[in-house]
A and B are shown apart, each in its own frame.
Chain A
Amino acid sequence: MAKYKTKGLDCWNRAKELRANYYKDYKEAHDRGALRWEGGAWSFDAVPQALEGEVRGLTEEPYGASVGADPEMQVRYQEAAEGKWGCARDLCAYLRNYWGSIVLNEFAFGGEWPKADFIFQNHICCSHAKWLQVADEIEGGDIPFFCFDAGAGAYDKIGERQINYVVEQLHDGIDFLEKVTKRKIVDEKLIQNVKNTYDSACYWAKTCELNQAVPAPLDEKTMFSLYVLGTLEKSNKDIAHFYKNLLYPEVKERVANKIAAVADEQCRVLGDSQPPWGFLRIFRYLEKYGIVSVASLYTFSLIGWWKIDKAGKLVPYPTLEEQGITIKDRDHALKLLAEGELKGKLMWAPFYGAKYKNDIVTRIAKQWKCDASIIHLNRGCEGTAQHQMEMKIAVQKLGLPVMTFEGNMADEREFDEGRTKRFIDLFVTETLGLKKVAA
């Protein structure tokens, strides 16, 4: 008999619907006279989405991940990027999926590649600006391009000067958007988008915080499908509503009623980086041993905003309501947006040193009551794979057993499923001393 009750999420289908609509809306945008833009999951979508009329964005990383979930398509796209464009096969796997898609003039969600009207990008890892610089080049070099710098320093070094650096660039971005689209930025929309961004980022963090409960109400495999909405358009009112009014209350209720993600939870695992998207079944394989992956810096903070409180605990970043803030005008909106991203997105901290990552992940391991760690050494994304070996050492020092496996989030040619399962069997049975609890 199972230890805990379990059931699927009631809001699951709504999450799927929001994602499907996002790609459909992007593809069909021009049919409705709407604008299309390309950017990244970290692009501060609140700004371009504040343009007059209908505007639809396509964020590069989630698109690359979607391709990655289909190994046949992914290999075809990557071989196009490598063979026809000539790029190295060790570049970011999402990026190669994206470029290959353009090279083949294929949209993973059907039809031809839907060319954007403009690019609104930001840069923090090596690839971001360059990704769309080259994408634009492959597409003929005629897509208006804007890229701002978000690499202003780690969260504990953010002051007025760092925030102003980003805000000034965002003002430049607004000038660019108005110039190239001949549309105005609507301040009321911008203000609402920033409020929505706060709701998405803070309520996702609050939802993750609930996973400290035993049994965990969510497993990482499910969380991957939930955080993705925030990587698509966290300023969108439907997405913010989903996080604040659907997901968070439902997960809270699961905790109150001890509804588990994995009915036989007996071991809680800390993860890191993106998984190999085409092989998420390895998480189901872990469940056979009662292992549930409950936490990772990546899953928590790719979109979620956090802070370290006075007691040294990792806690969700406060919403605007909790801070008692009413946005006054455009500049205030941009400042709050930059402040939230720069101070709250702790996932950016490892860009400034291994000590940051070690500090945050060890806090997570303790607060989320992790028993072990399984780290995907992700050859497909250097940004999220930063300091993974240092993290391994830090977590081991906490006394947690750690297993690492090499793979690639979106290049199946670099992932050996059979070998990984054999590693898991060995780690789980020999190191953790667990037996299978399910067939």
Chain B
Amino acid sequence: MEASEILKQFSDVWELRHEYAKDWKRRTGGKVVGYFCTYEPEEVLYAANVLPVRILGGHEAPTLATPHMFDMWCPFSRDCLNQGLQGKYDYLDGIMATNCCLHPRQAFGAWTIHVPTPWNYWFTMPNAVRSPRAKKFLRGELEDFKKAIEAWTGAKITDKELDEGIDIMNTNRRLMKQVYELRKADNPPLTGTEAMTMVWASQLMDKREHNDLLKQLVTGLPQRKLERDTGVRLMIVGSENDDRPFMEMVESVGGTFVIEDHCTGSRYFWDEVVPDKDRLQAIANRYCDRVPCPNKDWGMEDISRKRFAHILQLAKDYRVQGAILIQQKFCDPHELDIPSLRRFLEDNGIPCYFLEFEVTVPVGQFRIRVEAFLEQIQAEELFV
């Protein structure tokens, strides 16, 4: 299959996510679990042949959610709950959440009361991921999680199945990283929007099927030539982002997102599980060692942020000329980091521009602001 066709398939899954999941259930007879945060260990779900589906934005006014979450909660979380209340996820067999930021926890809390879902699970992911105590604790939580799934599905999860779960996830991560490697080129063979759509699809579809498509994509993509000027090489950093109209708009006015740091982008898949005889410990190690969400980005004994150095390295590797920092309105973890991140990137020669996202973004207004930012970057280059 042509690279463009594969990318189109990812886009179709993103647009028709519910139809995909319902069809998957019909085809496989398996169970589907919705999740809110990428700290939820999909390896164990795949080991049990359960399809994890991330609850992503619907980008419609979350009117049904308002009686359950007043409007100081992040629009993304209200949007997620809204879709649950609308019945869009009526095919879910389960819903789970974890110690992420407080906002999705509100959505999960209301979901468990008002959206009929047969099974729900709270997964206690440590906050202090850099504490030497976190990995052991998380292993215990994974053990409990595994037992809970076994009790729910009525089937024991064997080591072999855990190995398969790890392999499915690791393969997916490795292949997406190979695709991302191609974005380092002067003229990347895919846009930032396409790259992120690939990641969104990964969070929505069976990764075994996603992997099959990725294997074809990494073969075909190097030959793909885009009929567009790359323009300014941009990075986008911040809160959960599945706002395709915004991404497309930026890439239509003279910029290309060559890399990003989002939980719906590279941060989701950057780190693999390093296999170990103790499978659950191996999974625990990965979730503690991964590029952290800002919520968990603090040392037990120091104030450094692991993510900042990672972002800077990405900026260098992908030859980024400017960074757009975005946050969902009311997103505390990113609000807490953004003033420092902005200083850090600017001190390292990367100009930044900040934008606040809502359920729907004012694309027209943002276009003018983004164009001004791109002009500023290009103007600076004229005088170098």
| Chain A residues close to B by CB (< 8 Å) | 85-88, 90-92, 123-127, 129-131, 133-134, 136-137, 141, 144-149, 151-154, 157, 161-162, 165, 168-169, 172, 176, 350-355, 357-358, 377, 379, 382-383, 385-390, 393, 406
- B332 with A126: CB separation less than 8 A: yes
Closest-by-CB residue of B relative to A358 is: B113
Contacts of A91 in B (CB 8 A): 332, 335-336
- Contacts A130-B333, A134-B340 aside, 13 further interface pairs with beta carbons under 8 A come to A90-B72, A125-B102, A126-B295, A127-B332, A144-B301, A145-B301, A149-B126, A168-B133, A169-B133, A176-B301, A377-B72, A382-B103, A382-B332
B300 is an interface residue with CB less than 8 A from chain A: yes
In B288-304, the 8 Å CB interface with A consists of: 294-295, 298-303
17 contacts between A and B (CB under 8 A): A91-B332, A130-B333, A130-B336, A133-B336, A146-B300, A147-B128, A152-B124, A153-B124, A169-B133, A172-B132, A350-B109, A351-B102, A352-B124, A354-B109, A354-B110, A354-B113, A388-B70
Tally of A-B residue pairs with Cβ under 8 A?
A: 150
B248 is an interface residue with CB less than 8 A from chain A: no
Closest-by-CB residue of B relative to A95 is: B336
- B302 with A145: CB separation less than 8 A: yes
Interface string of B85-126 (1 = CB under 8 A from A): 000000000000001011101101110110000000010101
Known: A387-B109, A389-B69, A390-B113. A145 touches B128 (CB 8 A): no
- B126 with A130: CB separation less than 8 A: no
Partner of B133, one of A144, A172, A355: A172
B342 is an interface residue with CB less than 8 A from chain A: yes
- A149 with B303: CB separation less than 8 A: no
Which 8 A/B pairs are nearest by Cβ-Cβ distance?
A354-B109, A149-B128, A86-B339, A130-B336, A88-B335, A165-B137, A129-B298, A126-B332
Known: A126-B102, A382-B72. A87 touches B109 (CB 8 A): no
B153 is an interface residue with CB less than 8 A from chain A: no
Contacts of B122 in A (CB 8 A): 154, 352-353
Contacts of B137 in A (CB 8 A): 152, 161-162, 165
Report how far A133 CA is from B305 CA in the complex, Å: 9
Contacts of A152 in B (CB 8 A): 124, 137
Closest-by-CB residue of B relative to A159 is: B140
Report how far A258 CA is from B261 CA in the complex, Å: 62
- B131 with A406: CB separation less than 8 A: no
Contacts of B103 in A (CB 8 A): 382
Give the distance to chain A from B241, nearest Cβ to Cβ, in Å: 17
In B235-286, the 8 Å CB interface with A consists of: none
Contacts of B113 in A (CB 8 A): 354-355, 358, 390
| Chain B residues close to A by CB (< 8 Å) | 67-70, 72-73, 99, 101-103, 105-106, 108-110, 112-113, 122, 124, 126-128, 131-134, 136-137, 140, 294-295, 298-303, 305, 327, 329-330, 332-333, 335-340, 342
Closest-by-CB residue of B relative to A380 is: B72
- B127 with A123: CB separation less than 8 A: yes
Report how far A331 CA is from B351 CA in the complex, Å: 51
Contacts of A165 in B (CB 8 A): 126, 133, 136-137
Partner of B109, one of A149, A176, A386, A406: A386
- B339 with A87: CB separation less than 8 A: yes
- A387 with B133: CB separation less than 8 A: no
- B298 with A148: CB separation less than 8 A: no
Report how far A358 CA is from B68 CA in the complex, Å: 13
Give the distance to chain A from B67, nearest Cβ to Cβ, in Å: 6
Contacts of A390 in B (CB 8 A): 68, 109-110, 113
Known: A126-B332, A353-B108. A86 touches B342 (CB 8 A): yes
Report how far A438 CA is from B101 CA in the complex, Å: 45
Report how far A204 CA is from B127 CA in the complex, Å: 29
Closest-by-CB residue of A relative to B294 is: A130
Closest-by-CB residue of B relative to A88 is: B335
Contacts of B336 in A (CB 8 A): 87, 91, 126-127, 130-131, 133-134
Closest-by-CB residue of A relative to B70 is: A377
- A145 with B303: CB separation less than 8 A: yes
Report how far A393 CA is from B303 CA in the complex, Å: 41
Known: A161-B140, A351-B105, A389-B70. A149 touches B134 (CB 8 A): yes
